[in-house]
Chain A
Amino acid sequence: MTSLRRALLLLGFVGLVGGAVPLMLAPASDHVDSKTVSMVFLPLIGWAFIGTGLFAWWRRPENRFGALMAAVGFTWCIGGLWMANEPGLFIVGMLFGAVPYGFLVHMLLAFPRGVLEGRLATGTVVAVYFVTTVMQLAWVLTYDTTRDECGCPPNPILLWDNQGVSDVIAGAQSAIGLLAVVALILALYRRWNGVGSVQRRGLTPVIFTGAVLSADLGLTLAADLAGVSGPVEEAVDIAGLSLLASVPFAFLIGLLSTRMSRAGAVGDLVTRLADAPRRGELRDALARALGDDSLMLAYWMPGSAGYRDVHGHAVQLPPPDAHRAVSHVDHDGRRVATIVYDATVVEEDPGLVDAVGSAAALALENERLDAELRARVEEVRNSRMRLIEVGMAERRGLERNLHDGAQQRLVSLALTLRTARLRLEGHEDGASELLDGAEQELNMAISELRELARGIHPAVLSDRGLPAALESLAGRSPVPVEVGSVPDERLPEPVELAAYYVISEALANVVKYADASYARVDVVRENGHVLVEVADDGVGGADPARGTGLRGLEDRLGALEGRLAVESRPGLGTRVKARIPCG
């Protein structure tokens, strides 16, 4: 048995005895009018609060709610001492007579977390504690208990017998108490409006009882202020006591309904999971089970030590705060997913998130694997894209180096040779022929270098864009090529380059294999794609699987999520089409 359980059992025993105090004092009391009412309601209320409070304290030791409820019961029992004929016990009862209401207001406003939220709730509780302790003490110190000839024992701590002062204090207590009741009703109404349907089910009885009780207390205080007496006052008292007795049971009903709603939520979830939810529906099912539309689901990726969403995209968990709670779901000892949800869910029912997570663990593991696969595909795609971009940059740099370095030096050398030949005219000795030969060799080297540079990277494409680059391709082609529609605006470099290479390779094939007299090139943008088409009037019958040229292009297009298609029926020419995404 834990020390907490032992302590609570001891408190329970004390409460049992304390609750019986009115049963012992009421029959012999000289100053209690409604002895039956006192003997029924006073023990009942004390035991109900102490019992349910200790039970809640045991179940949720970290939550102050149970302690507050038990405090209502214990102070209620102590307050019952006012029925004693012995002056010392009587005055202790008088001093504690209002304290339970302080704890009661605190308890109602702190439900279910056990802590107060907001200035309205805190201010109300402070005011009520002030009225029920400090002002109550001041009233007792100035109130002559024998004044009203009620048969009450004398006040042993009467410091200053002044009816005027004690009446003013009592009036102030009633007025502040009335204001506090209004504030309590307002705070409960706000709480009711501020929670989701699942939490509201658990809150309903307590909120309702608290609100009605508040109204009844308000009526009692108003009746005190208005000086109502007789059967009306007694009826108001009995109604108030009945409602007070119902509060602990309302709390039990709330707890039970939360457990039932938890069972219902988990049952609904299991049914939905059996229907094999599609991607993204699992989050919706969990959100519905927890009654939290803002729920976020993140899947743990062990390799990358990070979180991904259901689509495999990286996500960051929000930083922890008072309003968002985080719960990890494990399966077979490994973390599968993390649920981020509204903190009021766990305040209302700490076991619900764990129950829902356990029920969905296998489905979460399946969806995590799906997300991991998607994440890896995305990583491969990004990696392939980066490789292509690095390759593009290196080829661009190489072409630039050739252009600015070797090509320029060879060109200068050619011009210098030409100058030398000019200056040798008239006194040659065969040197001119030697220079002619050298110049021819040099021009061939320059031409070959130029072709090499052009093959490495089409500089005109980078410098002038696709229209100029396609005109250049068409101009160099031995087969007449018509350049049809081409977008004037610049496209993303990888897209531009992929389109260029498709056209370049297709035109090279036209020259090599098609026996065509004419070819046409078109590039159009359509629905977020660039469509490239190269058509010729040649012999057709091209096999895309033959050779590496078009296959290499398929790889390049694949990195961009593009597609290549070749239509080439014998005798009907060839049509090469590429479709490249271009946001």
Chain B
Amino acid sequence: MSVSVLIVDDHPSFRASARMLLESEGYDVVGEAADGAGALLEVERLSPDVVLLDIGLPDLDGFEVTNRLAGNGPAVVLTSSREGCDYGTLAEGSGARGFITKSELSGSALRALLP
């Protein structure tokens, strides 16, 4: 059974290209959200296995959304067009499974972070 993914990013072009790539690698992209509040609603509604979560969202940022999803929620993988080191130790301490720079996103990179 394929892994279900929710893509959260405020840039439609990234959501579209990430959906195409992940679906090509066998993931089931079950939904998309453009901001933090939408992400929380879609997680509640769709219960995805993985949330690919952009850090720079227009309302709540990715760290705040991760914090709210902590517990028995889905695995969160943070992403950004900036590098992980730009955020210092924030990504490590956020409770997310890991961080992937957007330009390096691939199914295998995502799989490497999942259990």
Contacts and interface: CB of A to CB of B under 8 A. Distances in A.
Interface string B77-115: 000011101111110000000000011111000000000
Given A443-B103, A464-B87, A450 B82 contact: yes
Which residue of B86, B90, B102 has the most chain A CB atoms within 10 A of its CB atom?
B86
Given A407-B81, A411-B81, A418 B87 contact: no
Nearest to B25: A422
Contacts of B11: 404, 408, 412
B21 interface: yes
A467 B90 CA distance: 10
Chain B interface extent, by class:
20 to 34
A423 B24 CA distance: 7
B88 A474 contact: yes
B70 interface: no
Contact of B20 (A403, A416, A446, A470): A416
A429 interface: no
B81 A471 contact: no
Contact of B14 (A408, A443, A470): A408
A341 B89 CA distance: 64
Contact of B17 (A404, A407, A419, A464): A419
A267 interface: no
Contact of A416 (B17, B56, B90): B17
Contact of A411 (B56, B83, B102): B102
B21 A415 contact: yes
B16 A412 contact: yes
A459 B82 contact: yes
Contacts of A416: 17, 20-21
Contacts of B21: 415-416, 418-419, 422
Given A454-B86, A464-B87, A468-B87, A409 B25 contact: no
27 contacts: A403-B81, A403-B82, A408-B13, A408-B14, A410-B103, A411-B14, A411-B103, A412-B11, A412-B14, A414-B103, A415-B21, A415-B102, A415-B103, A415-B105, A416-B17, A416-B21, A419-B24, A422-B21, A422-B24, A442-B103, A446-B103, A450-B82, A454-B86, A459-B86, A472-B86, A474-B88, A476-B85
Given A411-B17, A472-B87, 14 more contacts: A404-B11, A408-B11, A411-B14, A415-B14, A443-B103, A450-B83, A460-B88, A463-B61, A468-B87, A471-B89, A472-B86, A472-B88, A475-B88, A476-B86
Interface of A: 403-404, 407-416, 418-419, 422-423, 442-443, 446-447, 450, 454, 459-460, 463-464, 467-472, 474-476
